[in-house]
């Protein structure tokens, strides 16, 4: 009963969102972005004005276009924030000097350019891994199933089932990793704190603690929506050749991301029986991508949220 009450306390919906880091949390509001890390010497707070590309190029803020742009922007900001938080917890010194290749990169690019190169390389690698595992691999595996060629409905269904199985299997496997459990606990703290803020309660550990750690506007839900919409779009691919199907899936990805973004915005704006049904699968997946936080994690989330509250009340209305 107590859990149900915390879920029904939402009085408004905020556009403020966040991301769990290594022993910290990043929050993004309408005006500012903050990173709060619990380092070895205490809380470290980094807050800066939020610069959105749509402010410079308004066309990039239009429906459908904004989905791909915001997804790319969030990925870049997320990688930067992760690297920033990781700097507070360096690996144990091995006593070995940097390799000649590392020294050459440092000399040619400089530390700032090298950092940017690492960020974009990590971003490309991460996207390539996700696309390969959740899009291309299911298409390839489905092509190996005998008797499926020529039956496009059955093939798309097979690809869809493989996508869901791989996605769920990956998320469940990652959630069991020791280091990731702490990251997912910070993820839970982020959700609970935003829930408390949306309930318009004072941001205290006592008020945040009983809140649900699930949130309909979570990145986990977005990824699941991407998977589901890609399955629907796959019904329009009417070719048997596996490589050609892979190519079509890749070409459709920007459209899928754009539609998924608009879908999440729409269902996140309303709270009724239909939106609760539509967001239920994504929130169920958050059983694996969020964990219950301790009070110290909640304190980090509260500080990160307080740093990005808008100067004008209501400016962060979803």
Contacts of 17 (CB under 8 A, 6+ apart): 27, 28, 194, 217
The predicted model scores a pTM of 0.87
Residue 98, burial from CB neighbour count under 10 angstroms (0-12, 13-18, 19+): exposed
Rounded CA separation 188/275 (Å): 22
Phi-psi region of 257 (alpha: psi -120 to 50; beta: other; left: phi over 0): alpha
pLDDT tens across the length of the chain (318 residues): 344 444 457 788 999 999 999 999 999 999 999 999 998 888 999 999 988 888 888 898 888 899 999 998 888 898 999 989 988 887 654 345 555 545 544 554 555 565 667 777 888 888 899 999 999 999 999 999 988 888 999 999 999 999 999 999 999 999 999 889 999 999 999 999 999 999 999 999 999 999 999 998 898 899 999 999 999 999 999 999 999 999 999 999 999 999 999 998 888 888 888 988 999 999 999 999 999 999 999 999 999 999 999 988 888 888
- Reduced to 3 states (helix: H, G, I; strand: E, B; else coil), residue 152 is helix
Strand order in the sheet with 17-21: 17-21, 24-28, 32-39, 42-49
Rounded CA separation 212/216 (Å): 11
């Amino acid at each position: 009963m107590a859990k149900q009450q915390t879920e029904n306390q939402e009085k408004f919906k905020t556009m403020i969102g966040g991301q769990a880091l290594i022993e910290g949390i990043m929050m993004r509001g309408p005006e500012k972005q903050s990173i709060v890390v619990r380092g070895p010497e205490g809380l470290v707070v980094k807050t800066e004005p939020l610069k959105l590309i749509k402010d410079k190029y308004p066309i990039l803020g239009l429906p459908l276009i904004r989905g791909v742009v915001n997804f790319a922007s969030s990925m870049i900001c997320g990688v930067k924030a992760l690297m920033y938080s990781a700097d507070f917890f360096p690996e144990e010194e091995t006593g070995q000097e940097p390799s000649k290749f590392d020294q050459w990169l440092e000399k040619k690019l400089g530390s700032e350019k090298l950092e940017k190169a690492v960020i974009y390389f990590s971003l490309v690698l991460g996207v390539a891994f996700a696309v390969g595992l959740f899009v291309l691999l299911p298409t390839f595996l489905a092509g190996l199933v005998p008797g499926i060629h020529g039956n496009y409905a059955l093939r798309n269904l097979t690809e869809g089932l493989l996508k869901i199985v791989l996605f769920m299997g990956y998320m469940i496997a990652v959630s069991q990793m020791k280091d990731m459990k702490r990251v997912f606990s910070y993820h839970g703290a982020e959700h609970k704190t935003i829930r408390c803020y949306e309930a318009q309660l004072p941001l205290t550990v006592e008020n945040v603690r009983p809140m649900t750690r699930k949130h309909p506007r979570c990145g986990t839900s977005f990824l699941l929506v991407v998977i589901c919409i890609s399955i629907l779009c796959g019904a329009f691919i009417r070719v048997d050749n596996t490589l050609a199907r892979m190519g079509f899936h890749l070409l459709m990805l920007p459209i899928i991301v754009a539609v998924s973004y608009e879908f999440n915005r729409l269902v996140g704006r309303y709270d009724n029986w239909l939106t609760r049904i539509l967001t239920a699968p994504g929130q169920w997946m958050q059983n694996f991508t969020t964990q219950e936080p301790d009070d110290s994690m909640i304190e980090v989330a509260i500080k990160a949220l307080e740093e990005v509250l808008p100067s004008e009340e209501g400016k962060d209305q979803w």
